[in-house]
Amino acid sequence: MIYYVARRLAVAVPTLLILIIVSYVLMYAAPGGPFDTERTLPPEVMANLQHKYGLDQPLFVQIWRYVVSIVTEFDFGPSFQYTDQTVNDVIRQGFPVTLTYGAWAFLVAVVTGVSLGIAAALRHNSLLDYLSVGVSVGAQVLPNFVLAPVLTLVFTLWLAWLPGGGWQGGHWPYVILPVIALSTSFMASIARMTRSSMLEALNADFIRTARAKGLPMRRIVFRHALKPTMLPVVSYLGPTFVGMITGSVVIDVFFATGGIGQFFVNSALNRDYPVIMGITILAGALTIAFNLMVDLLYAWLDPRIRY
Amino acid sequence: MSPLLFGRRAIRSMSGASDPSDGRSLWQDARGRFLGNRAAMASLVTLLVLVLFVLFGDSLAAWSNEEIDWAMLGNVAEEGGPSFANGHYFGVDELGRDLFARTVQGAGISLMVGVLGALVSMVVGTLYGAVAGYLGGAVDNVMMRIVDVLMAIPYMFVLIVFMVVFGRSILMLFVGIGLISWLDMARIARGQTLSIKNRDFVEAAVAIGVRPGRIILRHIIPNLLGVVVVYATLLVPSMIIYESFISFLGLGVQEPATSLGALISDGASQMQYGTLWQLLFPLFFFVTTLFAFFFVGDGLRDALDPRDR
């Protein structure tokens, strides 16, 4: 087990390094430096500025310094666009927001998805089953950027039940629409996956044995069938998590919730490279860490896996 | 009623025409199953109509996609709605441009990104996966670790960085999407290759001294095609989603070019003024296209890989 974790970490660390290096090189190759303003600075001033921020060094020295400052001080450098703010300040400001609705959306997607899938499998070929299959097929073509405007149209403009944007410190009416928009398509995928693997599990021999022993249905479902059912769902948790992170960009832009996605797009439009890189690296690190956790969970759930 | 049921009936009616002693090839069988799948056939017709719409929509449009109807500017909400009288079949956008012409163009770009992206990923992914799977050993290990590493990267962020650094253009969008889309395909092709490469016909080819490159191209890849085609069809809608996602954020195609995602975004930003047609027409095209591709993909999967049911 420890060997397995070590081996996974051995892949994770280079992955992150590659991400950092690639984004730094991309940024380095990009036209336009951080100090290019409308009025041209005297060359001496420019050289001084470049020197102060270490931009006159060779590329590999710059990358080395960048990596070292991230690893040792968790410092992503200053933002170009938001003066007097470091990348860390920007992340500190936006990340709690993203985390709040992201976590809710993740929870909603997994819990409703799994419940809907199990219910559909238990009532196979019933109205409920058809309904849940219909919902999950329909939700496939409703990615977050389609669902968000539609939800706002219905719940804000027509029904006027919920606010169509803003955050207000996470007051609950402001959280609902982002969470629904973000979670629905993943909820649908999870429901479909749970349904088919639950159906498969219920037809397995060990379930027939459990039935023959006369165990109550509830016990069969939750004690015996649930565990094998959850395996594909657990392996889908990784992509779901990535979807929450990338989806947060759309949510932040559309609902103006003020999470990291909003900063990311603003920085992308204004070429604020340190912020773009900081957020990309943060997203990458979170993804890698989460995938590692999912794999460990999977190995723990499925005793057939030998590491 | 399962699709298979329709399939059987279709096959029976097909085989009635020819000599019953003729064997049916795998592809004939699959075609019969696909033709009998109503949802897939309806979707195929929908896609054909869509392609015709994209190709010939411009000659139907009374306005070009860049022309501004100055009569509409300033009172888009009152007069800019869909109307046959003034030639704006889908209404105008917030700048007074004809939404019909823009939808034709946007649907065209979305469709092109989807199909080309899927094609690129099909070619690259299949070759990569087949080579890794066939050669095996250390080569396979290294090649697949590279795929693992690339997959662990949050591609959407990298894609946006890519677009920012190299400038926003359709070409860059293609390159960026193409760079990430082949990973899944490579895994699928490799898995399939592993199960094929020990079969007798490959051994026979090895025995008569065919070179590895030729074995991969002539013996392995044709046998991967079924799975690859199914997956590529399902990849088209996800390519369209990627592109629209980026364009929705305003980081994709540049004006005056547009795509369905950009149109949805424009429509969504205007909806509080009551100009709902700006949102609903692009949305309708987007959802219909995705549905059609999903159903065709599902139909192909049922037809080519019936064990999956």
Q: Which of A146, A153, A260, A281 to mutate to test the interface with B (most CBs of B within 10 A)?
A: A146
- CA B192 to the chain's CA centroid: 22
User: Hey, how many other C-beta atoms are within 10 angstroms of the C-beta on A26?
Assistant: 19
Distance from CA of A213 to the nearest CA of B (A): 30
Whether residue A149 lies within 8 A of chain B, CB to CB, comes out as yes
Whether residue A177 lies within 8 A of chain B, CB to CB, comes out as no
End-to-end CA distance of chain B: 13
- Kindly indicate the confidence band of residue B265, based on its pLDDT and cuts at 50, 70 and 90: confident
Whether residue A25 lies within 8 A of chain B, CB to CB, comes out as no
User: In angstroms, what CA-CA distances link B173 with A45, A73, A250, B243, B267?
Assistant: 37, 35, 18, 7, 22
Asked whether residue A162 is assigned to any structural domain, the reply reads: yes
Q: Give the pLDDT of chain A (307 residues) as one tens digit per residue.
A: 777 778 777 777 888 888 888 878 877 777 666 666 666 777 788 788 777 777 777 778 888 888 887 777 777 777 777 767 788 888 888 888 888 888 899 999 999 999 988 888 888 888 888 888 888 888 877 888 888 888 888 887 788 777 777 777 767 778 888 888 888 888 888 888 888 888 888 888 888 888 888 888 888 888 888 888 888 888 888 888 888 888 888 888 888 888 888 888 888 777 777 888 888 888 888 888 888 888 888 878 777 766 5
B 260-299 near A (Cβ less than 8 A): 261, 264-265, 267-268, 271-272, 276, 279, 283, 286-287, 290-291, 294
- Kindly indicate the confidence band of residue B23, based on its pLDDT and cuts at 50, 70 and 90: low
Contact yes or no for B247/B262 (Cβ under 8 A): yes
Asked whether residue A141 is assigned to any structural domain, the reply reads: yes
Selection from A17-31, B125-139, B261-275 with the highest mean pLDDT: B125-139
Q: What pLDDT does residue B15 have?
A: 47
Give chain A positions within 8 Å (CB) of B291. 141
Q: Which residue of B has its CA nearest to A200?
A: B309
Which 8-state DSSP code applies to residue A220? I
How far is Cα A111 from Cα A105, in angstroms, rounded to an integer?
10
- CA B280 to the chain's CA centroid: 22
Asked whether residue A16 is assigned to any structural domain, the reply reads: no
Say how many residues make up chain B.
Answer: 309
Asked whether residue A216 is assigned to any structural domain, the reply reads: yes
pLDDT over 80 (residue B263): yes
Domain around A247: 87-301
Give chain B positions within 8 Å (CB) of A250. 245, 248-249
User: Hey, how many other C-beta atoms are within 10 angstroms of the C-beta on B27?
Assistant: 12
B 135-174 near A (Cβ less than 8 A): 145, 148-149, 152-154, 156-158, 160-166
Asked whether residue A38 is assigned to any structural domain, the reply reads: no
Partner residue facing B165 (CB), from A26, A264, A279:
A26
Q: How many Cα neighbours within 13 Å face the side chain of B263? A: 33
Asked whether residue A73 is assigned to any structural domain, the reply reads: no
Q: What pLDDT does residue A111 have?
A: 93
Asked whether residue A49 is assigned to any structural domain, the reply reads: no
**For residue range B5-19, what is the model confidence (pLDDT) as tens digits?**
444 444 444 544 445
B 56-115 near A (Cβ less than 8 A): none
In this structure, what CATH number is given to the domain that contains residue A199?
1.10.3720.10
Asked whether residue A189 is assigned to any structural domain, the reply reads: yes
How far is Cα B18 from Cα B10, in angstroms, rounded to an integer?
14
Give chain A positions within 8 Å (CB) of B250. 265, 269
Q: What pLDDT does residue B306 have?
A: 55
Looking at the 3D structure of chain A, how many domains does it have?
A: 1
* Residue spans of alpha helices (H) in chain B: 3-17, 26-35, 38-60, 76-79, 99-135, 137-151, 155-166, 170-196, 200-207, 212-215, 221-248, 260-269, 277-304
Please report which helix (H) or strand (E) contains residue A159, including its range: none
The answer to whether the Cβ–Cβ distance between A253 and B249 falls below 8 Å is yes
